[in-house]
Amino acid sequence: MYEPYESWDAHRRPRRNRRPVVIAVGALLALLLVPLAVDRFATARVESRTATAFQAGMHTPSAPEVHVRGFPMLTQLAAGTLRRVDITAHDIPASDTTGPLPVSELSLRLKELKKSDDDSEALARSAEATALLSYPDLSAALGLEISRGTRPDQVRASVLLPTGDDVTVAATVSVLSGNRIAFKDFQVTGGLLPEVGRSAIGTVFERPIRLRNIPQGLRLRSVTTTESGLIARLSGESVTFRSDDGSRGSSVEGDSSYGNA
């Protein structure tokens, strides 16, 4: 026979009150999520301000992509140093007076970026950069139709003679001091080029191109050719972004308000 209802119910395990557990879990989640949200907001704020400052200093038509690495952000802001900042900017114009060659894309990896006490500059302890110099821009700078050569260190130029004939010439790209790109070993690789034309084109290739529209402190290390253009790789220490004057010269000025979240 079945036990009486009262007796069966007496053997059931008492139901525990789970409300304190739920409250404790909710409080723990709040303690974890609120600081994360605040830190994420601070990161977004710093990235936005850095992009605005860089755009103003580099005179780019659009704001660059900025990613501030490292967690927590609030600790970095309190210390006044951002451990790592990655910036990708597009269409950096040439200097108004001295730099004939714009930079199609500049990718920067900055380490330990901090601003000065008077907010006049931002300084990275070290930096690595990659710059893309497109063939159309290079052609405009040299006055010749430039394209990729047959080797990773070679460019090719097409020359249309007054007679209507096409001549192809080539030159080797290399690095000179002062952030200059040199064009050496000029040679005719297709067609017949009169001596006068050879002398004129040789003079064009004899003039190195200086990269002026890059942050101060970066040094050109290598240059290679790709389908899109020349890839210049740079690195340096104490790389500086200034905002205290309007000259561009061999450096690029940038608002250093990145740290004001």
Identify the pLDDT of residue 8: 47
Tokens encoding 6: 């009262």
| CA-wise closest residue to 89 among 244, 259, 254 | 254
Planar angle of CA 234, 124, 130, nearest 5 degrees = 25
C-beta separation of 133 from 104 below 8 A: yes
Tokens encoding 5: 């209802």
Identify the pLDDT of residue 173: 95
Tokens encoding 192: 């017949």
C-beta separation of 237 from 111 below 8 A: no
Buried b (16+ CB within 10 A) or exposed e, 196-205: ebbeebeebb
Tokens encoding 212: 């002026």
Identify the pLDDT of residue 6: 52
> CA 132 from chain center: how many Å?
10
Residues 6+ apart with CB under 8 A from 241: 53, 54, 57, 121, 122, 123, 215, 216, 252, 253, 254, 256
Q: Per-block average pLDDT, block size 10, for the chain (261 residues)?
A: 51 57 51 62 84 84 90 82 92 68 93 77 91 94 91 90 83 94 89 80 87 89 95 95 48 36 37
DSSP string, the chain: -PPPHHHHHHTSPPPP--HHHHHHHHHHHHHHHHHHHHHHHHHHHHHHHHHHHHHHHHT-SSPPEEEEESS-HHHHHHHT-EEEEEEEEEEEPPPSSS----EEEEEEEEEEEEE-TTSSEEEEEEEEEEEEEEHHHHHHHHTSEEEE-SSTTEEEEEEE-TTS-EEEEEEEEEEETTTEEEEEEEEEEES---HHHHHHHHHHHHS-EE--SS-BT-EEEEEEE-SSEEEEEEEEEEEEEE-S-S--TTS-B---GGG--
C-beta separation of 132 from 104 below 8 A: yes
Q: Which residues pair with 241 in a beta bridge?
A: 122
Identify the pLDDT of residue 14: 56
* Strands 229-242 vs 121-134: parallel, antiparallel or unpaired: antiparallel
CB neighbourhood size of 36 (10 A): 11
C-beta separation of 241 from 257 below 8 A: no
Identify the pLDDT of residue 98: 46
